[in-house]
Structure 1
Amino acid sequence: MLLYITWDASPEIFSVGPITLRWYGMMFAIGFLLGFMMVRRMFLRDGAPESWLDYCFYFLIAGTILGARLGHILFYQWDYYSSHPEDILKVWEGGLASHGGVIGVVTALWLFSKFVSKQSFFWISDKVAAPIALVGAMIRFGNLMNSEIVGTPSDAPWAFLFVNASPASLADVPRHPVQLYESLSYLLCFGILIALYWKTDLRNRPGFLTGLWFALIFGFRFVWEFFKSQQGGFAADGALQTGQWLSLPLVALGLGLMAFAYSRPERSTVVEGAKVGRGKG
């Protein structure tokens, strides 16, 4: 007898009139809220003005959404959106790509560093590395609740039969709950990064934690793509999926950043003129 888990979860938590609260949106919001709290503690430790945190938060939200949307359009559905530009702004209909989100986040952090903090790019990127990994874990859980980005067919006892998958052809057989695989692996990345930030001196090697984030996140992403149903994109007919081709250079970038950071002398992250130890505890 084939064992599997029937997954028919509703993507909606509740609906009151025209207002609907969805799991995906709530996971996204909770991830950013928890990240905000963690980065706030890091800012206080380094004596950075709390006003910077608000700007960083706004930059990151805008960069994440805009980058993820443009990434989906350019990397996965350019044929459709180039012919239907009126649908580009319909974010509520779905269509966000994590690789595009990374480009948006990097752009947002560069703008924040240049116009707000006047610190190095790695001063902020090393701080948000762990929180962003947590946000990624929360978002993949939201994907699970939406029954989207489903895996390839599986006869494992933990395989999910995604009753609400779209198109309906993806609900034919039990499949790998690859969203859960990714969510748990990103949660592991978060644990590693946050522990290294607070328990070691690696935060004093600018770029190391940023590089480790790239290597871990996209290393896992490359592996889990083998277990995903076809996601489309420019490499839809190849041996590797689009997400894997996009991940490879980012893993290489991460390893390069780690090597470069470790070859450089340690450098304090405390903002010049700040009180050392402020915000500890």
Structure 2
Amino acid sequence: MIYWDISPELFSLGPFSIRWYGLLFALSFIAGFQIMKWIFVKEKKSENDLNDLVMYMIIGTVAGARLGHCLFYNPGYYLSNPLEILLIWHGGLASHGAAIGIIISLYYYSKKHKDQAYLWIFDRVVITVALAGFFIRMGNLFNSEIIGIPTDLPWSFIFASIDGYPRHPAQLYEAIAYLSIFVVLFNYYRIKNGKTRDGFIFGLFLISVFTFRFFVEFVKENQTPFENNMPLNMGQLLSIPLIIGGIVLIIKANKVQPVSKNNK
């Protein structure tokens, strides 16, 4: 049993403070940028395109995560107080919303960059997204949020800022899972030397991430009261179509298809 009493603030100077979550969120983009830079150099893509991609990713991730939280988990409040949606520093981001935001933003990126097919860019970006999931869930752990249900397991956490009950460290479960998925996807890409069927890595990402997310929800506290009377919570309901989408991508990728022009 672990007693978790870590401050969410790394340090503060007067009114200025650095929080663990903010630091880890920033690290997710820095690490992702370095990995994508390596991929772009390896596949002889323009670094200017990479800078453009990063901007699309940041906008899609932040806007999608914020809107997802507001519309999926508390629509009544935010539709009545729409300006609150802009107050992102008040907290509230949803990973499913981030996934949808990234899907939309990369669609527009691929429309602008005709030499990079939609699925080609997704097969590479999701490698970094899996790593970002690790950093963000570790940030949730430092914030003592997205907690698990009570348990008597020996590795349970007591979150001092919440209550005295030992709980599943659900954030840690997800962080370890996403880091493992990143390692698998990155090494698959590296071993294949980028010569993968379009959509295969993206499909594998959707299936692995959201299947794990579906099952880990059973040991997590619901984020909003309205979920208490639902057989499946919002996180599970939103995971199902993404898992199905991943299966469709895998099936299509396994059909006979020519090597993408981006992989030649």
Task: Say whether the fold is shared (TM-score over 0.5).
Answer: yes
What corresponds to 1:113 in structure 2?
A: 110
Instruction: Return closer, same or farther for 1:234/1:127 CA change in 2, 3 Å cut-off.
Output: farther
Report the CA distance between 1:122 and its aligned residue.
1.0
Q: Contact 1:232 / 1:242 at 8 angstroms: preserved in 2? A: no
Distance across 1 between alignment mates of 2:153 and 2:253: 42
Report the CA distance between 1:202 and its aligned residue.
7.0
- Alignment pair present for 1:231 and 2:210: no
Distance across 1 between alignment mates of 2:51 and 2:111: 16
Runs of 4+ in structure 1 off by over 6 angstroms are: none
Instruction: Return closer, same or farther for 1:103/1:17 CA change in 2, 3 Å cut-off.
Output: same
Distance across 2 between alignment mates of 1:238 and 1:268: 43
Unaligned 5+ runs, structure 1:
166-170, 273-281
Report the CA distance between 1:229 and its aligned residue.
0.6
Report the CA distance between 1:264 and its aligned residue.
3.3
Unaligned 5+ runs, structure 2:
none
Per-residue CA deviation, residues 171-193 of structure 1 (Å, 9 max, x unaligned), is 13111000000000000110110
- Alignment pair present for 1:82 and 2:79: yes
Q: Contact 2:67 / 2:97 at 8 angstroms: preserved in 1? A: yes
What corresponds to 1:58 in structure 2?
A: 55
* Letter in structure 2 aligned against 1:197: Y
Per-residue CA deviation, residues 33-78 of structure 1 (Å, 9 max, x unaligned), is 1111111111112111110000000110110000000000110011
Match of 2:88 among 87, 91, 109: 91
Match of 1:209 among 201, 208, 218: 201
* Letter in structure 2 aligned against 1:40: K
Q: Contact 2:148 / 2:168 at 8 angstroms: preserved in 1? A: yes
What corresponds to 1:168 in structure 2?
A: none
TM-score where L is the length of structure 2: 0.95
- Alignment pair present for 1:175 and 2:167: yes
Q: Contact 2:130 / 2:178 at 8 angstroms: preserved in 1? A: yes
Distance across 1 between alignment mates of 2:82 and 2:123: 36
Distance across 2 between alignment mates of 1:110 and 1:48: 18
Instruction: Return closer, same or farther for 1:32/1:93 CA change in 2, 3 Å cut-off.
Output: same
Distance across 2 between alignment mates of 1:34 and 1:56: 14
What corresponds to 1:48 in structure 2?
A: 45
Report the CA distance between 1:261 and its aligned residue.
0.8
Instruction: Return closer, same or farther for 1:15/1:203 CA change in 2, 3 Å cut-off.
Output: farther
Higher share in helix: 2
Match of 1:261 among 229, 246, 253: 253
Per-residue CA deviation, residues 71-118 of structure 1 (Å, 9 max, x unaligned), is 001100112112222311111111000000001001111111111354
Q: Contact 1:77 / 1:233 at 8 angstroms: preserved in 2? A: no
TM-score where L is the length of structure 1: 0.90
Q: Structure with the greater relative contact order (CA < 8 A, sep ≥ 6): 1 or 2?
A: 1
